[in-house]
C-alpha cells in the first residue's frame, strides 16, 4: 500500500498543488487526471522521490519512502525517452537492463521483444525508430524489470491501438499479481481503476 499524505509542491513562488492525499492499495490502479499544468508529472516525481515536496510525505507499507526504497520498488517511465540514440535497440535493451540490475534471461527477453515489437530489426539504431517504437522500448522495461510499483506518465501517448491493448493487458496482469500502478493520463483505460482528479 502506498500512502500520499498532504503532499504540496511549489516551483519558486508558484504553488503547483496543495494537500494532495490518497491511498493506493496493492493490486489497484490509480489514474491521475487533470488539466495540463496542474502538476500530474510533478506529483509522480514527488512520489518517486525524484523531486522533494514542499510538505507532506509518501509512505510505502507504512515506511516513509527514501531514495533506497524508491530505487528498489519503483519503476518510473516518464514522458521522454531515455535511450541512447547512438546505440542499437538491442544494445539499449542490454544497457538499461544492466542499469536496473536485471538478471539476463535471453528467452524472456526475446519473448517480450516479440510481444511488443513483433518483427523488428534489433540492430537498428535508436534514432532510426519511429516515435511509437521509441515509446515501446520504454514500455519493454515493464515486462523485464521486476519492481512492485509502476509509475507511468502518459504511457499511451503515441501508441497504436494494438499496442494500447497489449499494454492494458500488462497493466491488468500486474494488478492481478498484487502490483501497484499509478498512471498520469488523459486517456481512458479499459481496466478497473480509481481516479484522482488534480484541480
Partner 1 sequence: MIKNFFKLIANEFSLMIKGSIFTFVLFCLLMIASSIFSLALRHVTFDIEIPLAFLWIMIFFISLIKVEKVYASDFSEAKLQQYILSPFALEIIIFVKNIMIYLNLLFLFFIFSPVILVILNIKLSYLISINFLLALSLLSIVFISSMTASITISRNNKLSITSVLTLPLFVPILIFSMAITNVIDFDIHKLYLFFLAYFLLNLAFSPLLTSFALKKLSV
| Chain residues that interact with partner 1, rule: CB under 8 A | 45, 48, 50-51, 67, 70-72, 74-76, 78-82, 84, 86-87, 91, 94-96, 98-102, 104
The b-or-e profile of 109-130 (16+ CB within 10 A means b, else e) is: beebbeebbeeeeeeeebeebe
Residue 198 · residue 36 · CB < 8 Å: no
Report residue 150: phi and psi, to 5°: -105, 125
Smallest separation (angstroms) from partner 1 to the CB of 11: 10
Q: For partner 1, which is the closer residue by CB, 80 or 130?
A: 80
Q: In this complex, which beta carbon is closest to partner 1, that of residue 87 or of residue 198?
A: 87
Q: Smallest gap, in angstroms, from Cβ of residue 103 to partner 1?
A: 8
CB of 74 to partner 1, least distance (A): 5
- Smallest gap from residue 50 Cβ to partner 1 (A): 5
Query: Under DSSP, is residue 158 helix (H, G, I), strand (E, B) or coil?
Result: coil
> For residues 137 and 171, which CB has a smaller minimum distance to partner 1 in the complex?
137
Eight-state DSSP code of residue 122? T
Nearer to partner 1, 48 or 133 (CB): 48
Residue 165 CB, shortest distance to partner 1, in Å, is 25
Tell me the three state secondary structure of residue 95: helix
Collapse the DSSP code of 61 into the 3-class scheme (helix H, G, I; strand E, B; otherwise coil) and give the result. Answer: coil
Asked whether 70 and 49 are in contact (CB, 8 A), the reply is: yes
Identity of the residue, 48 or 112, whose beta carbon is nearer to partner 1 in the bound complex: 48
- What 3-state class would DSSP assign to 67? helix
Amino acid at each position: 500500500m502506498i500512502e500520499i499524505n498532504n503532499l504540496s509542491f511549489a516551483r519558486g513562488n508558484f504553488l503547483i498543488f496543495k494537500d494532495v492525499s490518497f491511498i493506493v492499495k496493492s493490486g489497484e490502479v490509480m489514474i491521475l487526471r487533470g488539466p495540463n499544468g496542474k502538476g500530474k508529472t510533478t506529483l509522480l516525481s514527488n512520489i518517486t522521490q525524484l523531486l522533494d515536496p514542499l510538505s507532506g510525505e509518501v509512505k510505502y507499507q507504512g515506511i516513509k519512502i527514501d531514495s533506497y526504497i524508491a530505487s528498489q520498488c519503483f519503476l518510473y517511465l516518464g514522458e521522454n525517452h531515455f535511450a541512447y540514440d547512438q546505440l542499437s535497440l538491442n544494445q539499449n535493451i542490454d544497457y538499461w537492463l544492466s542499469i536496473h540490475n536485471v538478471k539476463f534471461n535471453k528467452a524472456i527477453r526475446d519473448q517480450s521483444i516479440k510481444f511488443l515489437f513483433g518483427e523488428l530489426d534489433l540492430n537498428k539504431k535508436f534514432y532510426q525508430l519511429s516515435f511509437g517504437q521509441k515509446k515501446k522500448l520504454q514500455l519493454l522495461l515493464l515486462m523485464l524489470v521486476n519492481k512492485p510499483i509502476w509509475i507511468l506518465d502518459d504511457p499511451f501517448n503515441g501508441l497504436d491501438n494494438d499496442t494500447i491493448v497489449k499494454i492494458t493487458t500488462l497493466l491488468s496482469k500486474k494488478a492481478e499479481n498484487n502490483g501497484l500502478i499509478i498512471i498520469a493520463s488523459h486517456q481512458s483505460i479499459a481496466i478497473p481503476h480509481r481516479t484522482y482528479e488534480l484541480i
